[in-house]
Structure 1
């Protein structure tokens, strides 16, 4: 059974309260994609958990569809979240190690929203996890590191696992280089150029593509 087109009000409230960067209108578009993809009965996969803001939306859609959300992150923060960078948050630094550690905050986010049983959290680097993943998924949401190395690694690792008819969502697709990094945008163009994807929707920096053919 597919989910509705919008998350439950309590899920949306938890999303807005959670640490993270995705605005509500993009979150609603992501949920709509997850709800549609949930109709395939396959896991909904996210690359880039951070503190679980967008994970809540996937968890809600997965629960309604009778499937599960899977989220992959090493939880040490991406490049722009390190000390001295724009998106650094000292509240998610391990005081003993002096390193970013978003895992405890993420677990609290899930617990407070009541989604612990709907999410499989994998702690590891995306390309390594993708190599040992052994099944199809209905949604791949790429929202990890924003360098070309990391964005391409996420795409190359997970797009082959996306079932035909499944959806590829890419966050932070910014065509204008004056407004932000270009790595997710280049991955978006790469996916379209592969001939395996057609665009479904564009909501600010969130792009949703449907897999229509094998290969990447």
Structure 2
């Protein structure tokens, strides 16, 4: 590894240092896979000692858990950025959220490789399993809140069980299309996956998300 390929470890405080180590871990996982992301490799990537890593993370599994949670949380936050639409009603906001999950930067081959590497080990690693569960529930809760807003604006009364089912279904729709987009983006037209995702969510809810909300 050349010096230029190392991350510059910034001495800006505990939180920033911890995040630098997480980013170095993600770099190593992307390049070497989970097995190759050893403490030594991560330390070399970050330009620090293994002892410093252990100061912030008790063990490698704790560091991997934090790295996976960062990936999942980052994808959710990138999609949520699409909700900052001044004057937009609930339907437009839900459509924008679905579309954001099915295009760049969320649809990305590096992100998918990282996610796949972590998820392949989650079934046998309690720490990664917990990170996955928390990430999934956090995303699903976001979807559920958006659906609740849409249905409320329509005057449709939806109980907790119905909202939960809608959120589970929409999460599955997004996940499936996201995987295909990451694996073979070149076989889809620009915006095609987003259009399909929105249409499928419309069918799920029985609403046209492109129409204006009732006043």
TM-score, length of structure 2 as denominator length = 0.24
In proportion to residue count, which structure has more helix?
2
User: If you compute each CA radius of gyration, which structure gives the higher value, 1 or 2?
Assistant: 2
TM-score, length of structure 1 as denominator length = 0.24
